[in-house]
Amino acid sequence: MTESAPSFDLAYVPGVTPDKWARKWQEREPLVPLNLVPVPDEGASELVRDGEADAALLRLPIDRTGLHAIPLYTEQTVVVVPKDHVVAAADEVTSEDLADDVVLHPLDDSLDWQRPPGQPAVERPATTGDAIVLVAAGVGVLVVPQSLARLHHRKDLTYRPITDAPESTVALTWTDDETSDLMEQFIGIVRGRTVNSTRGKQQPEPAKAKKKAPAKSQVRKPGIRRGPAPGKGRTPRRR
């Protein structure tokens, strides 16, 4: 029975753009396909834990049981409003500026905000996309990571940073027992390692050459030629 060709499945949540890392992968592993798998925020870590993806780019916090996670970057939090909303006239706002607004809280909300600002809506939209439609209809405003505001861009909406809102963190996660060379390769890519640097696993340090003792004068027998001892006196190869 022939083995299937190797590949690497990378899940990613809405708003996260893995394109630059995918290009690096193509350069370093041209014979191994990188399969990009879009997934919702909810359940992204379970996909990795269940073995349906090799790794995932997702937002923290998550249940870390059985998983590694490397924080990669933080996302600014913004409020999405209609273009004629009073907030649109400001460069940035605080949560107090939204005290009188209905703030929509979709079921797939990715922000870990214990006490969101504003007035709660009567019902929670099922998705962020549904909430965007309600914002455009004037039902309320929406607080999301900036990448999601860009993902759901509409000409009749705009967004402004909220200076005192919690930020979201995007991380790479994979299982504790995943130690393959392909996993180490991708970890190196997202961490910015060059192609010639080590790939995550600790490499043994090269042994330092011992200093030679001053040569003692000795009488050599004619006809006998001594070469250098094996492994000594050689210039270490460049790594």
Q: Is the pLDDT of residue 204 over 90?
A: no
Residue 4 confidence (pLDDT):
73
Same domain, yes or no: 84 and 31: no
Q: Is the pLDDT of residue 7 over 50?
A: yes
- Per residue in 123-171, pLDDT (tens digit) is 999 999 999 999 999 999 999 999 999 999 999 999 999 999 999 999 9
Please count the CA atoms within 13 angstroms of the CA of 131 that sit on its side-chain side.
28
Residue 193: pLDDT band (50, 70, 90) is confident
Same domain, yes or no: 97 and 153: yes
Largest Cα span, the chain = 103
Same domain, yes or no: 89 and 151: yes
Lowest mean pLDDT among 39-43, 49-53, 81-85: 39-43
Same domain, yes or no: 103 and 49: no
63: domain CATH number? 3.40.190.10
The answer to the question of residue 23 being in a domain is: yes
**96 in Cβ contact with 117 (< 8 Å):** yes
Residue 80, classed as helix, strand or coil, is strand
Mean pLDDT of the region 3-13: 90
Instruction: Indicate the residue among 151, 166, 181 that finishes a domain.
Output: 166
**68 in Cβ contact with 87 (< 8 Å):** no
Residue 181 confidence (pLDDT):
96
- Per residue in 57-109, pLDDT (tens digit) is 999 999 999 999 999 999 999 999 999 999 999 999 999 999 999 999 999 99
DSSP string of 152-208, one letter each residue: T--TTEEEEEBTTSPPEEEEEEEETT---HHHHHHHHHHTT--TTS--SSPPPPPPP
Instruction: Indicate the residue among 117, 150, 166 that finishes a domain.
Output: 166
Same domain, yes or no: 131 and 81: yes
Lowest mean pLDDT among 29-38, 51-60, 130-139, 212-221: 212-221
The answer to the question of residue 87 being in a domain is: yes
Same domain, yes or no: 140 and 174: no
Residue 5: pLDDT band (50, 70, 90) is confident
Same domain, yes or no: 96 and 138: yes
Same domain, yes or no: 126 and 47: no
* Residue 38 domain boundaries: 8-74+169-190
Same domain, yes or no: 177 and 97: no
Same domain, yes or no: 41 and 64: yes
The answer to the question of residue 90 being in a domain is: yes
Same domain, yes or no: 81 and 114: yes
Same domain, yes or no: 106 and 131: yes
Domain count, the chain: 2
The answer to the question of residue 1 being in a domain is: no
Residue 2 confidence (pLDDT):
54
Q: Mean pLDDT for the chain?
A: 86
The answer to the question of residue 220 being in a domain is: no
Q: Is the pLDDT of residue 174 over 90?
A: yes
